[in-house]
């Protein structure tokens, strides 16, 4: 029997297992969940800077993993991290598009924002979000996973890359980030 802490709280693990198989498969999934959930949620939270949404997306990543038999083979941890980064970046892009639409639709209204409001809204969006969403997906994935402390071997496994080329690819990603940051913000 499942117990809930309160009616509005979600026990992510229990809800995620509702649709899963029982027995050995469930124990494997449960073990993987306990081993990687916190780090997967942190990876997504570092992208979104919204821990609550990151936890929701982390559960979605594990649900995707549980439904993909090929993902549950030898490179399961790498698959989880790769999917977590891509899910986080997709959410970031979706939020950026939503903000742009909302800005466009609110532009013609009579409620003209003050210069201070415009400045604070621009800062709120976050410079990093814009830059990461403008980079190539692989570069953004490399930078995010590396910032989470993954080693070159873990990066290679998570992104299906040759471990010998990780240093070069990481340097290129950092340079692309630096150029984009300079291009966008050095003039200010």
pTM assigned to the model: 0.55
Q: How far is CA 115 from CA 49, 78, 123, 128, 183, in A?
A: 25, 45, 12, 22, 23
Q: What is the pLDDT along the chain (188 residues), one digit of tens a residue?
A: 444 433 333 455 555 444 544 455 677 888 889 999 999 999 999 999 899 999 999 999 999 998 888 888 888 999 999 999 999 999 999 998 888 887 777 655 556 778 887 787 677 567 788 888 899 999 999 998 998 888 899 899 989 899 899 999 999 999 999 999 888 877 65
Query: How many other CB atoms are there within 10 angstroms of residue 18's CB atom?
Result: 8
Tokens standing for 151? Answer: 């080693």
Cα–Cα distance for residue pair 50/13, rounded to 1 Å: 19
Cite the beta strand spans of 17-174 per DSSP E.
Answer: none
82 touches 155 (CB < 8 A): no
């Amino acid at each position: 029997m499942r117990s809930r802490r309160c009616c509005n709280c979600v026990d992510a693990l229990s809800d995620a297992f509702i649709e899963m198989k029982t027995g050995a498969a469930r124990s494997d999934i449960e073990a993987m969940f306990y081993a990687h959930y916190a780090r997967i949620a942190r990876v997504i939270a570092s992208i979104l800077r919204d821990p609550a949404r990151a936890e929701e997306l982390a559960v979605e990543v594990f649900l995707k993993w549980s439904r993909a038999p090929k993902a549950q083979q030898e490179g399961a941890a790498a698959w989880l991290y790769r999917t977590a980064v891509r899910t986080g970046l997709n959410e970031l892009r979706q939020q950026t598009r939503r903000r742009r639409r909302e800005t466009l639709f609110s532009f013609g209204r009579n409620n003209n924002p003050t210069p201070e409001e415009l400045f604070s809204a621009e800062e709120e969006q976050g410079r990093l979000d814009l830059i990461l969403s403008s980079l190539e997906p692989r570069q953004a994935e490399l930078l995010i996973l590396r910032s989470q402390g993954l080693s070159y071997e873990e990066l290679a496994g998570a992104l299906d890359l040759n471990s010998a080329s990780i240093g070069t690819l990481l340097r290129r990603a950092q340079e692309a980030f630096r150029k984009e940051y300079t291009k966008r913000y050095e003039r200010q």
